[in-house]
Amino acid sequence: MNPALQGLITIILGVGGCVGYFYFSNIVLDRFIFPATGPQAGRNINRANQVRPWLFLAPAMLALGIYLAYPVVATLWLSVTDRDLGGAFVGLANYRQMVSEPKFWEALQNNILWLIFVPAMATVMGLIIAQLTDRIWWGSIAKSLIFMPMAISFVGASVIWKLIYDTRPLGSEQIGVLNALYLYFGGDAPQTWLTIPFWNSFFLMIVLIWIQTGFAMVILSAALRGIPEETIEAAVIDGANPLQIFFKIKVPQIMGTIVVVWTTITIVVLKVFDIVYAMTNGQWETQVLANYMYGKLFVGIGDWGVGSASAIVILLLVSPILVWNVYSASKETK
Amino acid sequence: MALFASRKSGLTWAVHLTVVLLVALWVFPTFGLLVSSFRTSDQISSSGWWKALSTQETQNSPVRIAGEEDEVDGKFVIRGELFPTSDTELSNWGTSSLKPNAYEPGEVADLGDGNTLTVDNRGAFVLSGPASFAEQRSPRVFTTAATPPEFTLQNYETVLFSSRGGEGVGQAFINTLTVSIPATVIPILIAAFAAYALAWMRFPGRALLIAAVVGLLVVPLQLALIPLLTLHNQVGIGKSYLGIWLAHTGFGLPLAIYLLRNYMVGLPRDIIENARVDGATDFQIFTRIVLPLSFPALASFAIFQFLWTWNDLLVALVFLGASDDKLVLTGRLVNLMGSRGGDWEILATSAFVSIAVPLMVFFAMQRYLVRGLLAGSVK
């Protein structure tokens, strides 16, 4: 069957199924299980209302359970078993093997570089742009254009930036902007930017910063606008200059939002896979954890044990943010 | 006071200039790709895209003058065409490899021994001298061709419709659409019901569930790959569209529930309480009141989910597979980067085909996207 047709049928079945499920399960509950008639009508209504939330929640809980909660447990289990031994328990052997691989340490080291550099740059750039664009009449157009890379896939962005980093042999015309500029300003020979160890990671990070700055800008811009006018007016009357107002009045007031932006980008960085996979595939010392894990799981026969172990490492790195988010969300719902 | 005013306007100018610079910096990469996708492969490999609007000069290989000799007024003359078969516009020419651009078209060059040569801008030449050229070595002519700026739609035709040249980008486009639309629509309804329950129904364990959703929001989906693929294989779904729809639904749900719940909690309590008092059931309240009022949040999530599923590479590689007939655009692009990394006309055009749809969605529905971002993170 044509996949497009299959897709259409799935939409109809999926949406129709959902509507049907919610509609009929409610009817069954109200008419047959706990009918609101007869001697126990009042008690039945109460009982039905106790059950109903779970009817509403059931499909979502099922999907979340199967697709997100179960895999965490299953991956944890896979990381302490060996596929070649028929899934026998091997304790920490996979972790031991992982930490003995230099590629793992390279990936971890690069990931830490990414974690420091990308959220910091994206947040700071986003904050500066948000502040500048709020002051000019065509600010919303400017914002929209800087926000645009958000819509571009990591792979598309990789192609875009690969053109910028392109290298042609010495003597022929350079078609990559970076090399053209490098030669124009007196560089002696064109560089293959993505193969220079250590610095090439930064060339990859720029791609993600380019994408994420727009996100930071949008959120921080809204936060800046939410600052009460009086505080700024008071500062102006006291003779503060624009820089002082920005750093001493505005930034402290939006510190909470800056932290949220920072952590959100941190999570994106920890999961970053596509950019490295598409541009260098971890060669020339650009490996990161997510790509290391993908390589372990799906290249060749697949080492599920070590791959799962590295997935757990990513989870561990995310977990402080996870705990913090859960903590602040539950504080807010109380 | 005047000094203050001028300093202030100077500052405003600095702000304008900085923003112009930043915007240029951010748009420049994408723009380069767009321009490249309209150039021929020769143009792309011979000059940077930023020169696309200027006339291109390329060095032709030298041509040795040859032809029938005529004797006119005691002079020996050879007339002919340097490029009899092609249509070339010359910007400069010369007779020595050291100075290939010595003369303008139409200029007369003195070759010594009384010999002269002239070449016009179409490549027609006249060589004349006092002695017959039969015994002499006739001169070589170096020419520089000027190609006016030229843009073509050929790349798009190749990529989208030709079966070989584009290596299946057209098919990949359809595959991506097939993946992303159901994967966007299905989670919305499931999430909306759950969000309503979490926002407006009272039951034990509600706070715990909300916390769980927030926690799942950041669980890296890398963890899910192997266990779910194994599960799909056991159930018999395997690597198929059904599998990827389900996977995207599962992965998209935490954000959907979180966004929608945050929005629904903010709806006016009075409306919902009044409806309850009037005897409306939760199901009625949800479908008649909450769902229509939540339209902005639904739109926000739909855009997120669409962009995410359209742009995704990892989930598609794992749950749909990398076989040729099922490859999505992102996967196709990665393959092209490997196999045809030097063919920038194909690569740039394919990349732009994959970027075009999300960009259109982005510019058309930016308002909802921004609103969704704000609801999803500033809390």
Q: B residues 158-187 near A, CB within 8 Å?
A: 174-175, 177-178, 181-182, 185-187
Q: Do A144 and A64 lie in a common domain?
A: no
Nearest 5°: phi and psi at B53? -90, -10
What integer pLDDT is reported at residue B2 of this predicted model?
Answer: 44
Q: Domain for residue A88, yes or no?
A: no
Averaged pLDDT, A56-80: 87
Among A44, A78, A112, identify where a domain stops: A78
From the CB of residue B106, how many other CB atoms can be counted at a distance below 10 Å? Answer: 11
Q: Do A160 and A305 lie in a common domain?
A: yes
Contacts of A7 in chain B (CB under 8 A): 178, 181-182, 241
Non-local (6+) Cβ contacts of A322 within 8 A are B215, B218, B219
From the CB of residue B333, how many other CB atoms can be counted at a distance below 10 Å? Answer: 26
If one counts the domains in chain A, the total is 2
Contacts of A210 in chain B (CB under 8 A): 26, 29
If one counts the domains in chain B, the total is 2
Rounded CA-CA distance A195/A197 in Å is 6
What integer pLDDT is reported at residue A309 of this predicted model?
Answer: 87
Q: Do A74 and A100 lie in a common domain?
A: no
Q: Do A44 and A149 lie in a common domain?
A: no
HSE-up of residue A304 (Cα within 13 Å, Cβ side): 22
Q: Do B70 and B198 lie in a common domain?
A: no
Averaged pLDDT, A52-73: 87
CB pairs under 8 A between A and B: 332
Rounded CA-CA distance A232/A333 in Å is 31
- Provide the pairing of β-strand B108-112 with B63-64: unpaired
Q: What is the pLDDT of residues B330-362, one digit of tens each?
A: 888 888 887 766 778 788 888 888 888 999 988
B4 shares contact with chain A (CB less than 8 Å): no
Q: Domain for residue B316, yes or no?
A: yes
Q: Do A323 and A239 lie in a common domain?
A: yes
What integer pLDDT is reported at residue B86 of this predicted model?
Answer: 66
Q: Do B201 and A53 touch (CB under 8 A)?
A: yes
Rounded CA-CA distance A70/B236 in Å is 18
Q: Do B171 and B312 lie in a common domain?
A: yes
Rounded CA-CA distance B320/B245 in Å is 10
Q: Do B193 and A60 touch (CB under 8 A)?
A: yes
Q: Domain for residue B265, yes or no?
A: yes
What integer pLDDT is reported at residue B378 of this predicted model?
Answer: 44
B225 shares contact with chain A (CB less than 8 Å): yes
Rounded CA-CA distance A120/A61 in Å is 36
Q: DSSP string covering B287-300, please?
A: IIIIHHHTHHHHHH
Burial class (CB within 10 angstroms; exposed 0-12, middle 13-18, buried 19+) of A252 = exposed
Q: Domain for residue B89, yes or no?
A: yes
Q: What is the pLDDT of residues B266-286, one digit of tens each?
A: 888 888 888 888 888 788 888
Do A210 and B28 touch, CB atoms closer than 8 A? no
Rounded CA-CA distance B32/B48 in Å is 9
Q: Say which residue the tokens 């950041």 belong to.
A: B218
Nearest 5°: phi and psi at B112? 90, 165
Q: What's the CATH number where A121 sits?
A: 1.10.3720.10
Q: Do A107 and A182 lie in a common domain?
A: yes
Q: Do A277 and B337 touch (CB under 8 A)?
A: no
Q: Say which residue the tokens 């959703």 belong to.
A: B213
Which of B358, B9, B107 lies closest to A135, judged by CA? B9
Q: Do A116 and A176 lie in a common domain?
A: yes
Q: Domain for residue B212, yes or no?
A: yes
Q: Do B208 and B355 lie in a common domain?
A: yes
From the CB of residue B101, how many other CB atoms can be counted at a distance below 10 Å? Answer: 14
B67 to chain A, closest Cα gap in Å:
34
Which of A161, A149, A154 lies closest to A271, judged by CA? A154
Q: Do B99 and B184 lie in a common domain?
A: no
Q: Do B242 and B203 lie in a common domain?
A: yes
Q: What is the pLDDT of residues B17-66, one digit of tens each?
A: 888 898 888 888 888 888 888 887 777 777 777 777 776 666 677 777 77
Q: Do A173 and B281 touch (CB under 8 A)?
A: no
Q: Indicate the length of chain A as a whole number.
A: 334
Averaged pLDDT, B169-193: 85
Contacts of B221 in chain A (CB under 8 A): 68, 271
Q: Do B128 and B201 lie in a common domain?
A: no
What integer pLDDT is reported at residue B321 of this predicted model?
Answer: 80
- Crossing angle of helices A139-147 and A102-133, in 10° steps, is 170
What integer pLDDT is reported at residue B8 of this predicted model?
Answer: 65
ipTM value: 0.85
Rounded CA-CA distance B206/B214 in Å is 13
Q: Say which residue the tokens 């364990």 belong to.
A: B205
Q: What is the CA angle B306-B309-B310, rounded to 5?
A: 80
Q: Do B264 and B331 lie in a common domain?
A: yes
Q: Do B138 and B202 lie in a common domain?
A: no
Q: Which residues pair with B144 in a beta bridge?
A: B59, B92
Helix (H, G, I), strand (E, B), or coil: what is residue B58?
Answer: strand
B190 shares contact with chain A (CB less than 8 Å): yes
Residue A184, token pair as written in the block: 């124009």
Q: What percent of chain A has pLDDT over 70?
A: 96
Distances (CA, A) of B330 to A203, B32, B169, B315, B355: 21, 19, 10, 11, 10
Q: Domain for residue B152, yes or no?
A: no
Q: Do A106 and A44 lie in a common domain?
A: no
Q: Say which residue the tokens 């900085």 belong to.
A: B18
Domain that holds residue A18: 3-78
Domain that holds residue B198: 161-377
Q: Do A142 and B22 touch (CB under 8 A)?
A: yes
Q: What's the CATH number where B312 sits?
A: 1.10.3720.10
Task: Name the band, by pLDDT with cuts 50, 70 and 90, for residue B164.
Answer: low
Q: Do A135 and A243 lie in a common domain?
A: yes
Q: Do B87 and B231 lie in a common domain?
A: no
Q: Do B241 and A10 touch (CB under 8 A)?
A: yes
Residue B65, token pair as written in the block: 């003058």
